[in-house]
Structure formats: structure tokens, C-alpha cells
Structure 1
Amino acid sequence: MKSIGVILAGGSGRRLGSELPKQFITIAGKTVLAHTLGVFEQNELIDEIIIVVHKDYLNETQEIVTKERFGKVRMIIPGGKERYHSTLAALNAYQDTNCKFIIHDAVRLLVTQQMISDTIEALDNCEACTTAIPATDTILQSDATKQFVNAIPDRSTLFQVQTPQGFLANTLRGAYNKALTDPCFFSTDDCGVVKRYLPEISIKIIQGSPSNVKLTYKEDISLIERCLLG
């Protein structure tokens, strides 16, 4: 069963305040996307890579792949308006194949080889998994007005979700097939789709790292650059 690195690179980067989508800005001499692709390219368990990107940046993505000589990249395809549209596009690209889907946000460029390998290997014994770290802050759940505290969950059972997330493609496809029949469906997380629409599937937690940050704000750039430059 092939292991496919699915790199979701369709974000707009509005919160970063950049003219370019954040996956195309340069940090430590390379674009964010190039850094992320490099980690997946070097992982010996990754067989192929598919990049899902906004339709307006297909050429820029191909230029990065060509310049950096990423030989495992098999496809660069357009995504959609929402994050889950990009996952669906990747599933459609492999519609006749049951493989291991290793889905990763392009802007988590500090992902490690260990996280990728652990995600792939976990799928030998489960159908879905996600990288995550224990929550270090107390989390409040608000009421419907978002003005008052409704509950304070036990922090010891809470985790912050990261990527990569791993799935057997047929399992993820089955979850989305059910989700798309739900007129109220909306999601920003693939594990959430599996949990809601295939509740019988156990989702394994893979150890992440606080350093596996998602580039979101300008303040993140200097932190990530320090990590990359050592």
C-alpha cells in the first residue's frame, strides 16, 4: 500500500498580512512550501507527493518543484474554497486506489521525519490517526453567545491538533461520502469528518511537538526562521 504525502497549500494567508499566500513567502532562503516539501521528499516511507494549491498558483508551485528537483511530486492540482475541498480533490485524484494518505498543512514547515514516519506506521494497525500535543493551557468552552463560560473541560484529556494526519484513503473517502449527504456539513479538520460520520473508527494520537507550529501570524516568522537556522 503506497504512502501518499498530501500537501495542502491552498490557504490565502490573510492573517499574515502578506500579499503572497503564506506558503509562498521566503524564510531562511526558501519558500515555506519548499521547506515542507523537502521534509516529505526525504522521508523514506513516502512514495509519492500530491500538492493541492489554489488554482492561481499552479505555475508558481510547479516552478518550486522544478527548481528544488522534488522527484516524488506526482501531481499538482487545484483545490477549492474550503480546506475540505482540497482533501476531496486529493481523494478524487486517487479515486481508484486504497493507499495511505498522509495529509499535511504546507505551512507547518517544521514537521519532523519522526512525525511523518510514525503517522505512516500507525496506519498498519489503525485506519486514522492525527499528530497532536497535550494542551498546556486551560481551555474554556463558551455558551452560544460566546460571551460566557459554559464549561471548563479537564485539561488532562485535551490535545491540540497538528498535522500530519493519516488515513486509509478508503476510510476517509467513506467518511466524506456520508458527510456530503449532510446539508449542515462543514469541517476544517479531516479527523473531525471521520469522527462524526464514522464514529466506529478509532483515531490514534501520534506524538507531535510544540515546535511543529503552523505559520499564521507575522510573529511566527522569526520563531520559525530561528528554528530553521539552528
Structure 2
Amino acid sequence: MQVSAIIAAGGQGRRMNSSISKQFLNIKGHPILYYTLNKFERMDKIKSIVLVISADDIDYTREEIIKRYRFKKIKIVEGGKERQDSVYNGLRELSPQTDIVVIHDGVRPFVPIQIIEKSIAAAVEFKAVGVAVPVKDTIKVVDVDNTIKTTPDRKTLWAMQTPQSFSYDVIMRAYEKAIYDGFYGTDDTVLVERLGLPVKIIEGAYENIKITTPEDIIFAQAFISLGYGDYRR
């Protein structure tokens, strides 16, 4: 079985108030992106990795990430204007012989390998799989004036994470339809939903945070020190 990963790492770090793209920020001696890529590089099930990166960051990534850490499976592809455009660029670089595509955020370095493996196995069975965690807080739906309209049943609410894994044919169809329709979604599973196909959810991990704010860096440093996400002291 041919399993390929697409790592979306085209963010600019605006919410970090940093001139450095967030995926290159240093945590415990290494850039965030190193931790993410190293996890996928080590997995025997993943045969190839497409890293989608901003055009401005390609040379830096090649020298300071790929060559520095001697990654062997990774191919760099230029990203697009939006995340969805970037992932599609990555999809087009995959071999048509690919069976399963695993799409993951470059700034989620703490996903446990076990969850990636479960996501792949579930994609073989269900064709489209998202990783998510049950929502802890009460969620409110509000109107334009910030007045509460309704309170959804928390038991039905899950916060989506990555990886999101799909059969190659399903995710390509989903992306091609989205492009044809001019539709942009906030994750990959919503594109499959628009095909009218079911998407299976498997439970993720609360430590699988997306590092997007300065506060997240503090959590990330603590997670590495404590050995979360397969990291050991």
C-alpha cells in the first residue's frame, strides 16, 4: 500500500507578532517544523512526504531543514495563496499510484504516531477520516450583535485536528469539485462532505495543538520537556 503525506507549512506567523514564519520558530533547540517532519520521516508506513511551503521560504527550508536534518523522503512544493490552494499543489505532486493521503499541519508537532497510524488504518476502511477531540467548553451560537441564539449539545461537538486521511481518489475528487465551484473550506474533510460522502471521526489527543500564538510556544516547550507527543526527556 502506497501512503503519502502532505505537510502544509505555508503560514506566515501574523498572530505570533513575529517576522519569522511560525513553522521556523525555535523550541528547545529545533524549529517547530523539524519536530513535525521528523515524526513522519520515521514512519515506515509513509513512503513519501510532500512539504508545501511559501515561495519565500523554499531556499531556507531546503538548507536549514531538509539538508541540516538529512531528511530523505521529503519533496518541497511551492504553496498557494490559501491553505487549500497549497494542499492542492501538494496533491498534484503525488503519484497516481498513491492509495492513502495523510494531510497534516506543519505546526502540529505533538500528534502521537499512534494517532497517525490509526488515521491511516481508518482511511483504508472508510475512505475519509478526520482526527478530532470532544469539546470541553460550552459552545454558543451568536448573532451579529454577539447575542446568544442557541446552545448546541456539547456531546455532539468535536474540535477538528490533523492529520486528516483519505483515499487518493476521494480527496482528489473533493478538491477538484471545490476548485470548480470556487469553494474554500476551513479543513479538508468539509470538501469531502460536499461530495455527499461520509467522513469518519477518530479521537485525537488534546496535546496535538496547532501552534499559532505566543502562548502556544510556552505550551510547546512544556510538552517537549514533559515528553508529550512521543518526545522523551
What is the TM-score normalised by the length of structure 1? 0.94
1:4, 1:226 → 2: CA distance? Answer: 30
Give the CA deviation at 1:88: 0.7
Whether the aligned pair in 2 keeps the contact of 1:36 and 1:108 (CA below 8 Å) is: yes
Instruction: Map Cα deviations across residues 136-177 of structure 1 (whole Å, 9 max, x no partner).
Output: 11111122x252222211100110000000011210111122
Residue 28 (1) aligns with residue 28 (2): yes
Unaligned runs of 5+ in 1: none
Instruction: Map Cα deviations across residues 157-206 of structure 1 (whole Å, 9 max, x no partner).
Output: 110000000011210111122222224x121211011112x11x221112
Identity of aligned residues (%): 38
Residues 2-151 of structure 1 aligned to structure 2 (within 5 Å): 2-63=2-63, 64-73=65-74, 75-94=75-94, 96-143=96-143, 145=144, 147-151=146-150
Partner SS, residue 130 of structure 2: strand
Counterpart pick for 1:221 among 198, 213, 217:
217
Give the CA deviation at 1:94: 2.0
Partner SS, residue 12 of structure 1: coil
2:179, 2:215 → 1: CA distance? Answer: 37
Amino acid at match of 2:185: S
Give the CA deviation at 1:96: 3.0
RMSD: 1.3
1:174, 1:18 → 2: CA distance? Answer: 37
Amino acid at match of 1:56: D
Whether the aligned pair in 1 keeps the contact of 2:124 and 2:167 (CA below 8 Å) is: no
What is the TM-score normalised by the length of structure 2? 0.93
Instruction: Map Cα deviations across residues 35-80 of structure 1 (whole Å, 9 max, x no partner).
Output: 100111112211111100001111111121111111121x100111
Whether the aligned pair in 1 keeps the contact of 2:7 and 2:49 (CA below 8 Å) is: yes
Whether the aligned pair in 1 keeps the contact of 2:6 and 2:91 (CA below 8 Å) is: no
Whether the aligned pair in 2 keeps the contact of 1:43 and 1:116 (CA below 8 Å) is: no
Give the CA deviation at 1:99: 2.4
Unaligned runs of 5+ in 2: 227-233
Give the CA deviation at 1:10: 0.3
Residue 163 (1) aligns with residue 162 (2): yes
Amino acid at match of 1:134: P
2:43, 2:94 → 1: CA distance? Answer: 21
Instruction: Map Cα deviations across residues 69-103 of structure 1 (whole Å, 9 max, x no partner).
Output: 11121x10011111100111011112633421110
Q: 1:146 to 1:39 in 2, by over 3 A?
A: farther
Amino acid at match of 1:164: P
Count of residue correspondences: 225
1:79, 1:146 → 2: CA distance? Answer: 36
